[in-house]
Amino acid sequence: MKELMIILFSAILVNNYPLSKFLGICPFLGVSKKLDSAVGMSAAVIFVMLMATAATWPIYDMLLEPNGLAYLQTIVFILVIAALVQLVETILKKYVPALYKALGVYLPLITTNCAVLGVTVLNITENYNFVESMVNSLGAGLGFMLAMVLFAGVRTRLENIDAPKYFQGLPITLLAASLVSASFIGFSGVVDGLFM
């Protein structure tokens, strides 16, 4: 249990996907303008990360590794995740319209998002078992949500500042992102201490 908590919290705080690993920067900068769309996007990311891990880990463990085909993992993972997200989208549309309405716009966006692919590949690289992989994916998703919500707050403030002309728009956003990212370095080493 302690190991799982360490995995969960280090995925949220220390190895934060957008802010420390720089994965999923595209939605991090693109969808963080408003708080509600940032939350919607993050919820979709959590959902897809969990599903992708649940599908890819068994495939790697039972199909690829025993046959010595570990080098195929990237292409197989992309294929499986893309198909899976499409399938889930159709099923949600039919049976859970409310959830589809909340997540639907974002699902195709993150079909093969690098954060989603990254979490599945890193689960394999870190030699996590299935439960650990799922916990790591949940943590990665929650960390993504934390980063998005924090940064959406920063960006609403950025709207009202009088930036120099050449810093307006994306440059000042990138500067703010780097500061938020730098502040997350403060978390390194925290998690080991939390569960001593």
Q: Site residues (CB under 8 A) for another protein? A: 63, 67, 69, 72, 75-76, 79-80, 82-83, 86-87, 90-91, 93-95, 160-162
Closest listed residue to residue 55, CA positions, set 29, 32, 37, 73: 73
Query: Which residues in the chain belong to E strands, given as ranges?
Result: none
Minimum CB separation of residue 84 from another protein in Å reads 8
Q: Which is nearer to another protein, 2 or 165 (CB)?
A: 165
User: Which one, 156 or 183, has the nearer CB to another protein?
Assistant: 156
Q: What is the C-alpha R_g of the chain? A: 18
Closest separation in Å from C-beta 151 to another protein: 20
Identify the three-state secondary structure at position 15. Answer: coil
Quick one: 13 or 92, whose CB is closer to another protein? Answer: 92
What's the min distance (Å) between Cβ of 95 and another protein? 8
Nearer to another protein by Cβ, of 67 and 125: the residue is: 67
Shortest distance in whole angstroms from residue 79 CB to another protein: 6
Residue 103 to residues 9, 10, 79, 137, 146: CA-CA distances in angstroms?
Answer: 25, 26, 21, 18, 17
Nearer to another protein, 26 or 172 (CB): 172
DSSP-derived secondary structure for 99-131: HHHHHTTTTGGGTT-HHHHHHHHHHHHTT--HH
Q: Nearest distance from residue 6's CB to another protein, in Å?
A: 34
The string of DSSP letters for 80-105 reads HHHHHHHHHHHHHHHH-HHHHHHHTT
